[in-house]
Amino acid sequence: MGVLMNSLPLLSILTLLPLVGAALLSFIPPEKIKFVRRFALATALLTLGLTGWLWCHYDPADWRMQFAERAVWVPSLGIEFHLGVDALGLLMVLLAAIIIPFAMLASWKITENPKLYFGLLLLLETGLFGTFTAINFFHWFIFWELSLIPAFFLIKLWGGPNRTRAAMQFFIYTLVGSVTMLLAFLAILSATGICDFVQLADLARDGELQSILFAKLGGGLFKTREILGTVLFLGVFLGFAVKVPLLPFHTWLPDAYAEAPTGTSMVLTGVMSKMGVYGFLRILLRIFPDQTRAALTPLLWLAVATIVFSAFAAFAQKDLKRMVAYASINHLGYCLLGIFAVAQVTGTSVNGPLEKTAVLNGVMLQMFNHGLTAAALFYFVGILEQRSGRRSIDDFGGLRKTAPILCGLMGITLFASLGLPGLNGFIGEFLIFKGVFPLATAAAAVSTIGLMVTAIFILTLIQRVFHGPLPGGTSSANSGAVDLTRTERFTVIPIITLMFVLGIYPQIVIALTNPTAVQMVQKLAQ
């Protein structure tokens, strides 16, 4: 049985399974709404089970790509069908496999064309899996763009009153970023004949990539290797910066998250935002290490601005969805701060590699933990909106008396987002700051302002929504509020459990990520 499983193209099966499920949904009569929901959820749970099998059979001691699949596709262009996962890729695949069924359960009561809605979620899952497992750029870019299409229609067709504007903003921003990235990689392909991320990273580490690029593409506007490398770097950088997003490329996100239906917002913040961070780690940092170091100072301060200004923006919001959206930008800013700090040269510093390893472990853990907490927060805000038809912080008060279980579980999620020790949000941020402080002290110090402002607006939210009186002096703000149903409790309790497990014993993930982090640091130092 083990030999058979090892001979199967497991990553291809995992990637195509949601796509097949979406195709089969189209044959189900539209009036069978319950069967549509159950079939879509069963497909998502099947992919989660397969991902769990991959997790159990992944060898943490081997930092190389595992479960690899490789076949010639277009040999004249250097294009291969090449799949594989290391700890970073596997962790993101697991995150997507967890969030998609969670989002489906949050969308269970959608009655407007549920067959198309759940089919688009499954198609989006295929795009996410392909992005996190593909190693060849051509193959990877197909899935990168594939994820954009269902996300656009999920916002456009099921979103709020301003959904058309939000969907168009989302589409245009991400498309522009994708175009610049595509042009940069087409230039690299024309010069090197290579699309494989691992091979390009090896060439970059040995210093050969810039020489090859300049020999083929130099001249005219590109008078030096540095100018050419910087232009290509900026093209790829923009594609990932928009996806995260990094300030000032973030303006599409609050509208998209606020107008999207609850389940879609959960996927956007829980998984799709990680595509950009993943790209910075997998592609930009490894293929353009010299250019990243050359732009280190502005990159660090862009990350600081992302952390601090998004925290203040969240504090200024009245709309709970927009507050959580800006908080999501804030938390992903910590990941970018860590990635950019790792890029710098530490010279002969003995502790440099240890600090960088701590940072990378923290970044990968933060990516996973933020996906859980942010998706759960959007789930709870969606429940509040569904119950009351409102979502302004001024519309609630005294909710703890009428919905204590909802407030208790949402409070746990808010404290996890705050970074309370014992919950999953703490250890990732701790490892990032532990490593960044000796590497980029000034940037780390200013970033702590974001931590303090985050604490203020989260505690303000808890006080006003759970305990404060309604406007007008009513002592019980939500006398008609309904607490979580049994189904809603069973939906969110697995995520809450993970928050405690990862907060108390983060070694479950760190044992997986540490060998990959060590190897990344070693390669960056060469």
Q: Please, which residues bridge with residue 359 across strands?
A: none
The pLDDT assigned to 475 comes to 42
Which tokens hold the place of 443? 């940037």
The pLDDT assigned to 407 comes to 94
Could you state, in chain order, the average pLDDT of each consecutive group of 10 residues for the chain (526 residues)? 62 96 93 94 97 95 90 82 94 97 95 94 97 93 94 95 94 94 94 90 89 86 87 95 91 92 95 95 93 94 96 94 94 95 71 89 96 96 89 87 92 95 94 94 95 93 84 49 88 96 95 93 80
Instruction: Tell me if residue 70 falls in helix, strand or coil.
Output: strand
Q: Where are the beta strands (DSSP E) in 241-356?
A: none
Q: How do the domains of the chain map onto residue ranges? A: 295-526
| CA–CA distance, 448 with 52 (Å, rounded to integer) | 36
Instruction: Tell me if residue 402 falls in helix, strand or coil.
Output: helix
The pLDDT assigned to 398 comes to 85
The pLDDT assigned to 64 comes to 85
The CB density around residue 55, as the number of other CB atoms within 10 Å, is 15
Cis-peptide into 248, omega within 30 deg = yes
The H-assigned helical ranges of 159-295 are 163-192, 197-205, 208-217, 225-243, 252-259, 262-267, 273-279, 285-287, 289-294
Residue length, the chain?
526
The pLDDT assigned to 524 comes to 84
